Amino acid sequence: MSFDLVFFGGTGDLTWRKLMPALFQAFRHGKLPEGGRILAVARDDQSDERYREWLKERFREVDAGKRPSDEEFERFASLLHYKRMDLSQPEHYQGLKDWLDARNADTVVLYLATSPYLFTQICQQLGAVGLNHDKVRVVLEKPLGHDLASAQEINRAVRGVFAESQAFRIDHYLGKPSVQNLMALRFGNALFEPLWRRESIANIQITLAERLGVGTRGAFYDGTGALRDMIQNHALQLLTMIAMEPPSANDADAIRDEKLKVLRSLKPFTPDSVARDVVRGQYRAGNIEGVVVPGYLDEVKVPPESHCETFVALRTEVNNWRWAGVPFYLRTGKRLAARDAQIVVNFRPVPHKIFPGGSQPNRLVIKLQPEDGLELQLLAQKGTGQGEQLTPVSLDLDFDKAFAAQRVGAYERLLLDAIAGRLNLFVRSDEQEQAWRWVEPILDAWAADPSGPRPYTSGSWGPAAASALVARDGFSWAEEQ
């Protein structure tokens, strides 16, 4: 199958840090279909050869295990091409079409790795020159809008040019192997389904924690914040995969229909419930692994009086038959105590204790990063004598060790799926808009609240109010148990 993959924003950070290394891994592993061309599009005036040399230098900055040897890069570079484009000039789109039409590949993938404010203009210009025929797919990188209105505007522009089946809205968390195993865990095994409901589960916690601060992205991050950057997309997508009903088939629309039902079932926020059930924080100076780090307000290009949140913890419920009354806790933040992404399913305690001492309820920990695996926490007897207390034990599965073959990374998987036309791991427009619809009352309540975010020390687990949020229901975060 011949394909042309075009990166708008071909010299941007996303392209050289994430997308090109992912494509190289697919090439190295023999997974990239033959007959492909990769075209980088940007404003810089350079040739194919100069772009290849520039990218080779950038590859020196990626993880050592993902860097190509000189011989590997030479072979990979033969796929790379460069075209200068000013995205505001209609004639440049015609030049792109002529370049693509000269070969007439089986598939054309147009990846918009640009600022989202350019999405509408790019899509309209692509449609004007006829680059929206049935061989074309368009990939839209997040953030997909700043709020519901801007997301709807982007979607209207995309729908005005492309069919929904041609639009691939990317959320790289959905490409992680560990997230794929959420589907396998739930719908490929009979063990958990009878327990996957309110009668057996006490609460579910989703944590997406980072040790890093905003670094040099202060100007961008200050206009975004943790709620938009992580909760509205990544965390909510994980919640839908945990809470969804079994789809009728492993089919894109069947899966996305069930995810949408979960989003529509989420308990809506009001100004009062935002004040009660949502905690926002902003990191101050502190210590990370023995290194003193600055506070958010001292970061580069961050306004000195910024109220931007770098931490969010919230409580919600899924108002349906399966999950009624079960709290879901979502938490994300920067400069926290660990880099840790995980989902913790806390089961209810046994209804009648017959063993002495306390009895810790069972837990299933789904590890997303930095580890990739499952840990089932149970209780057992050591067998050392009469009347002994139960002792916690774990069944711990490390997927990287269990599967010896090279596993496919998130962007690698999603790029290959876009080339193949598989939509299962991409977000449909109604899903995306419903997620914005759910978070907007939080944004509105914060805009009307002059108090701003609560401070927390870098290297901690966020404001103390986040612990109080969970303790109010008689529970605690996983690291506090």
Neighbours of 16 (CB within 10 A): 21
Give me the helix-helix angle, 20-28 and 70-77, nearest 10°.
100
Q: How far is CA 432 from CA 151, 281, 394, 419, in A?
A: 8, 25, 37, 22
Give the SS3 label for residue 136. strand
172 is annotated as an active-site residue = no
Element containing residue 182 per DSSP (H, E): helix 177-187
For 234, the token pair is 């990544």
Bridge partner residues of 332 (DSSP): 208, 312
- In this structure, the chain runs to a length of 481
Cα gap 388→379, rounded to integer Å: 12
For 49, the token pair is 């050869």
Neighbours of 173 (CB within 10 A): 22
In the numeric block, the tokens 């105590």 are attached to: 337
Contact between residue 45 and residue 84 where contact means Cβ atoms under 8 Å apart = yes
Residue 204 phi/psi, 5-degree rounding, is -130, 135
Catalytic residue among 133, 146, 234, 352: 234
Q: Give catalytic residue positions.
A: 234
